[in-house]
Structure 1
Amino acid sequence: MTILPVADRKGVRRALVDLFAADRRAVAVVLGLHTAASISGLAAPWLLGKIIDEVVAGASASAVDRLTLAIAGCVLAQGLLQRFAQYYGHRFGERAVAGLREDFVHRTLNLPVSVVERAGTGDLATRSSVDVAAVGNTVRDVVPVIVLASAQLGLLFGAVFLLHPLLGLVAFAGLPSTFLAVRWYLRRASAAYLAEGAASAELTDALTTTAEGARAVEALRLTEARIAFGRQRIGAQWATRRRTLALRSVFFPVVESGHALPVAAILLAGGYFLNRGMVTLGAVVAAALYLQQAIEPLDRVLQWVEQAQRGFASLARVLGVGQVTPEPRGAAEAPASRELVVRGARFSYSDGHDVLHGIDLEVRPGERLAIVGPSGAGKSTLARLLAGIDAPRSGTVTIGGCPVTDLDPAERRRRIALITQEHHVFIGSLRDNLRFAAPDATDGQLQSALDTVGADWAGELPEGLDTRLGDGAHELGAAEAQQLALARLVLADPHTLILDEATAALDPTTARRTERALAAVLTGRTVIAIAHRLNTAHDADRVAVLDGGRVTELGSHPELMRANGSYAQLWRSWHGGSSNTGAC
């Protein structure tokens, strides 16, 4: 499995700035409301200090009552302002997260298919679910809380300074230890949370692949091996989580131990200053109340700093998807010819070992070419090169003289369609599943496509085209899913079709009926079939025999039978050893 890239800190900061800049008005409203709420909260301790000073000076009860009513009004105003600030803040956060999700889906859909396959399901699944959710929480709650709580702390400490500069200096008594703890934590947290995210992706991939291949695991008696592999991945994730937990177990006790220090320092120093007539009793009480108020926003800042590290690490993983080079936007004009030509094509996967060795092949427009050969001969790899999913390491694969991989992806998919034996059924109605291939198709066209591929089961569905498919709804079997994919192919109507064992899940009778039904529809189109049943090769215009990554034979079925080479041996073996070729 190849892990997708991760954005650096500069990219994360730039993305956050862009995210907030995209909705400046909403950000300004939220900040204004929170600032007004914080200022309203500053009034109560100051007014309480004034009450104390007024009482000491012998003020009347009516003066005290007026100040008390002013405190009540400020508390009410603060509550209302905070309510509206949170409301508009969540609205902004949800809009920002929705935009981020849409951007992530757009970036993911633009990834080359080969990159998605190498990355595996675990990494992308984790980024699209866990990481996007963590980023949403950060944007909606964490960042606003940190910004606004920091502003509130600034106002509170500024108010202490306004009461008396000496009290303001004393108020900073607990900040050095807090600053050092935060600095120590931030230096270590980012890497630790990135490692935790990567371990989570690997665990998800291990569990997903084991679940998807459960039957193969059971048949090959690999249960204990897969359990051991899963335990290894769980152990790796547990180790990364212990690392982040160890950081938190140091960070929080240190910073929380400094909460009481500023209040105690203010009371001690305030008493000293009061005895010397440097401050009033009301000023000392107000300063102590301000610092007591500062504990709550300071706690929020420190608590959400930890969450912010998790969110920023997740954002780096989400943004990393966009760092993969998307499929190139090639020539806007489609080549005039439909001829597919392969010249000297060599291809190797990540291990560097060539799978294809100098393939030379010409597929004429409207021709039906069958590619046969033993397992591991490179048939599916050649199909991927012809479809433009992978590019050859050397040599060329062209259509109408233009390299297939240089075509605009949308244009390439309109012209060439690759259908494999792996088919996905999307959660949604049967109509939705079909219209992925032709969004404007009518119900009549959808039904016709199903009839073409022999999908008789569609007529028996309880709600017809409106029947819901997928998890928790009507589930299709492997054969039905293949017929659904073939119906999409009929609707897509490309001029070149590459069928990589596209009827492998169908029983021989159904497969033969489906292939014959498709044959009538595909007249005039170029069809390249990776054939596991030699009846397909028998019906083709030409047959290419692939063995060891090389084309060893090429010709029509009768020509290859007369040549009595490897294809003839395959045919006779498939027919139970009969040497009679008269039916050919």
Structure 2
Amino acid sequence: MSATTALPVADGPSLRRYAVGLLRRHPRLVVSALGLHVLAAVAGLAAPRLLGGLVEAVEEGTTLGAVDRTILLLAGFLVAQTVLTRYARLVSQVLGEQVLAELREDFVANALDLPVGVVESAGSGDLLTRTNRDVEQLGWSVRWALPEWTIAVVTAVLTLAAAVSVGWWVALPVLVGVPPLVVGLRWYLARAKAGYLRESASYSRINATLTETVEGARTVEALGLGDERVRAIDDDIVESYEAERYTLHLRTVFFPSMEIAYLVPTVLTLLFGGYLYMQGSVSLGDVTAAVLYVQMLIDPVDRIVSILDELQQGAASLARLLGVAQVPDDREATGREPVGEDLAADDVRFAYVPGRDVLHGVDLEVAAGERVAMVGPSGAGKSTLGRLLAGIHPPRTGSVTVGGVGLVELPLGDLRGHVALVTQEHHVFVGTLRENLILAAPEDAGDAEVRAALDAVDALEWVDALPEGLDSVVGSGGRVLGAAQAQQIALARLVLADPHTLVLDEATSLIDPRAARHLERSLAAVLEGRTVIAIAHRLFSAHDADRVAVVEDGVISELGSHDELVAAGGSYAALWRSWHGDA
């Protein structure tokens, strides 16, 4: 997957299967909602019959008492329809909220299951747009559009049945309005989904460009790339404008044509009914009821068509949300159990972009309990190799194993018990410090274990100095932690997770060098007996390691102890002299 490839979008059959599955989870609510909608619609259908009968009675001569009784019946049916509609909408909205909650839970679970490499390749803009705009659009569709559309469909079907029950002749003018309605719907539906998907994709591109620009603001400023980034976002906005203009064009053609399809049956029913009445084939009451029923059809059919636009947008959003679950897994559990904790890379090659390998046949064996430092110039492939050794990415060719079992053969839960990666990137979640830490802790971990982990990473002193201690609220809206403090919290989580092998990708790079040196010394007791692979530009890590791997141009060019490599006078020796300021 290239860096510009978006996440997948689910197809129509997948949407239908998922929607049916969701509804099957709530049979009682579905049946209750439909039943109430049917009863409400039936109550509303009494009015035309009563009014038609009243007109015929007046024509033939009636009493004031009969008129009063008809009016009371009309009022009774109106009240019944109002009450039934109220509870029908209530049950529909309860159903909608439950369905939406399950959709959100499924999306979060699917997003968290995404391979990290896929997320990085797709970029953050696409996933952010699905998380924000698509979830919001789907929420609107599920809460409002779908219940209202269901009411409209039920009302339209029953109203049509009631109209035809007046006489067979009512079906003729109604059928005249069907062809333009069908043609218009087919024209619109054939284009709407693709249009709304394009519209959503354009928002993803805008978000991606904005996110990249903001996150790389210092680089943009340092290299004078401001104009280029402005042009990039302008191009994205132009594409979004064209996408929205296209969907607007669909609506401006579709809705006016539908209005004509609504009015024609009403006019024809009145004219045809009037003709039949003049011929003596039908009564005036039948004509009145038929015209009223056909007129009543306009509102539900208009809502069906209008809300269909909202449902198309909701379907496009749902397709994008479900598409996240269609990303193929990058690992396949085989059930094999590692024997030991030795880590090995055998002829490993890896490419972010097809045809352009960044690792070229790397071989490395790391014994259990050994500490290996990986050093080398920027862009040499150190972090990439570290991510493969942590099981983040599968190799293109070759294998990376722990205890003789491929890392991609282990379920993620099992893998993280063997190997874990901590990088320069870290996140402080909204909540207390304690909640931030116990995310990675065993279920039975208490404050003693949490404090021990903080002590191991030299963070206990400043945590105890906080007024609320472990109960201090951090993250967005809470106490702001410095970069070094946030990194120490990330390292404390790692200690609590207690994996056997640690891959540290410049994990202390943002901490003051003296603090980093002290932190690594504090970690030494905790890391005793574990395998540690440390990736860093600061060579004191290499000096303390059992072995040093020098990575250059995607291969390990040198491998040995610090003293051996300094004595060899190669690349590592040059780096060591440069770091110490020697000529």
- What's the TM-score once normalised by structure 2's chain length? 0.96
Instruction: Give per-residue Cα distances to partners, 1:303-356, cap 9 Å, x unaligned.
Output: 111111111111111111111123535244531211111121122221421211
What code does the residue aligned with 1:453 have?
V
Equivalent position to 1:472, from 477, 483, 487: 477
In structure 1, C-alpha distance between the alignment counterparts of 2:577 and 2:31, rounded to whole Å: 79
Instruction: Give per-residue Cα distances to partners, 1:93-128, cap 9 Å, x unaligned.
Output: 110111111111111111111111111111111112
Q: Residue 448 of structure 2 aligns to a residue in which SS?
A: helix
Contact conserved, 1:192 with 1:243, CA < 8 A, in 2? yes
In structure 2, C-alpha distance between the alignment counterparts of 1:238 and 1:467, rounded to whole Å: 46
How much does 1:171 deviate? 3.1
Residue 557 (structure 2) pairs with residue 552 (structure 1): yes
Written as runs of structure 1 = structure 2, the 5 A alignment for 1:508-547 is 508-547=513-552
Match of 2:207 in 1: 204
Instruction: Give per-residue Cα distances to partners, 1:146-174, cap 9 Å, x unaligned.
Output: 33312211221222221121133223333
Written as runs of structure 1 = structure 2, the 5 A alignment for 1:421-500 is 421-438=424-441, 440=443, 441-455=445-459, 456-500=461-505
What code does the residue aligned with 1:138 have?
S
In structure 2, C-alpha distance between the alignment counterparts of 1:514 and 1:549, rounded to whole Å: 30
Q: Residue 258 of structure 1 aligns to a residue in which SS?
A: helix
- More displaced, 284-293 or 239-248? 284-293
Equivalent position to 1:405, from 405, 408, 411: 408
- More displaced, 236-245 or 386-395? 386-395
Q: Residue 465 of structure 1 aligns to a residue in which SS?
A: helix
- Cα 1:406–1:518 shift into 2, 3 Å: same
Residue 185 (structure 2) pairs with residue 152 (structure 1): no
How much does 1:411 deviate? 0.6
In structure 2, C-alpha distance between the alignment counterparts of 1:387 and 1:94, rounded to whole Å: 40
Q: Residue 341 of structure 1 aligns to a residue in which SS?
A: strand
What code does the residue aligned with 2:497 have?
A
Instruction: Give per-residue Cα distances to partners, 1:193-248, cap 9 Å, x unaligned.
Output: 11111111111111112222223322332222212111111111111111111100
Contact conserved, 1:330 with 1:409, CA < 8 A, in 2? no
How much does 1:71 deviate? 0.7
Written as runs of structure 1 = structure 2, the 5 A alignment for 1:57-136 is 57-136=60-139
In structure 2, C-alpha distance between the alignment counterparts of 1:420 and 1:226, rounded to whole Å: 28
- More displaced, 270-279 or 141-150? 141-150
Match of 1:362 in 2: 365
Instruction: Give per-residue Cα distances to partners, 1:246-294, cap 9 Å, x unaligned.
Output: 1001011111233332222222222211111111112212222212222
In structure 1, C-alpha distance between the alignment counterparts of 2:124 and 2:97, rounded to whole Å: 27
In structure 2, C-alpha distance between the alignment counterparts of 1:428 and 1:266, rounded to whole Å: 65
Instruction: Give per-residue Cα distances to partners, 1:345-377, cap 9 Å, x unaligned.
Output: 122221421211221111111111111111111
- More displaced, 114-123 or 68-77? 114-123
- More displaced, 497-506 or 51-60? 51-60
What code does the residue aligned with 1:154 have?
V
Equivalent position to 1:273, from 272, 276, 291: 276
What code does the residue aligned with 1:428 have?
G
What code does the residue aligned with 1:529 have?
A
- More displaced, 266-275 or 495-504? 266-275
Match of 2:261 in 1: 258
Identity of aligned residues (%): 51
Instruction: Give per-residue Cα distances to partners, 1:361-394, cap 9 Å, x unaligned.
Output: 1111111111111111110111011111112222
How much does 1:185 deviate? 0.4
Contact conserved, 2:93 with 2:147, CA < 8 A, in 1? no
Contact conserved, 2:502 with 2:533, CA < 8 A, in 1? yes
Contact conserved, 1:371 with 1:537, CA < 8 A, in 2? yes
Where does the alignment leave 5 or more consecutive residues of structure 1 unmatched?
Answer: 579-584
Contact conserved, 1:110 with 1:327, CA < 8 A, in 2? no
Match of 1:54 in 2: 57
- Cα 1:439–1:197 shift into 2, 3 Å: farther
In structure 2, C-alpha distance between the alignment counterparts of 1:370 and 1:423, rounded to whole Å: 21
Equivalent position to 1:184, from 187, 197, 201: 187
In structure 1, C-alpha distance between the alignment counterparts of 2:480 and 2:188, rounded to whole Å: 49
- More displaced, 96-105 or 474-483? 474-483
Match of 2:47 in 1: 44
Contact conserved, 2:97 with 2:143, CA < 8 A, in 1? yes
Contact conserved, 2:509 with 2:536, CA < 8 A, in 1? no
Match of 2:306 in 1: 303
In structure 2, C-alpha distance between the alignment counterparts of 1:167 and 1:5, rounded to whole Å: 48
Q: Residue 545 of structure 1 aligns to a residue in which SS?
A: strand
In structure 2, C-alpha distance between the alignment counterparts of 1:4 and 1:312, rounded to whole Å: 16
What code does the residue aligned with 2:251 have?
R
In structure 2, C-alpha distance between the alignment counterparts of 1:124 and 1:384, rounded to whole Å: 22
Q: Residue 477 of structure 2 aligns to a residue in which SS?
A: coil
How much does 1:439 deviate? 5.0
In structure 2, C-alpha distance between the alignment counterparts of 1:345 and 1:260, rounded to whole Å: 70
In structure 2, C-alpha distance between the alignment counterparts of 1:542 and 1:89, rounded to whole Å: 65
Equivalent position to 1:319, from 318, 322, 335: 322
Contact conserved, 1:121 with 1:205, CA < 8 A, in 2? yes
Contact conserved, 1:327 with 1:409, CA < 8 A, in 2? no
- More displaced, 320-329 or 383-392? 320-329
What code does the residue aligned with 1:108 have?
A
In structure 2, C-alpha distance between the alignment counterparts of 1:421 and 1:242, rounded to whole Å: 43
In structure 2, C-alpha distance between the alignment counterparts of 1:416 and 1:271, rounded to whole Å: 84
Match of 1:581 in 2: none
- More displaced, 252-261 or 369-378? 252-261
Contact conserved, 1:385 with 1:392, CA < 8 A, in 2? yes
Match of 1:10 in 2: 13
Q: Residue 364 of structure 2 aligns to a residue in which SS?
A: strand
Contact conserved, 2:442 with 2:496, CA < 8 A, in 1? no
Residue 34 (structure 2) pairs with residue 31 (structure 1): yes
- More displaced, 257-266 or 380-389? 257-266
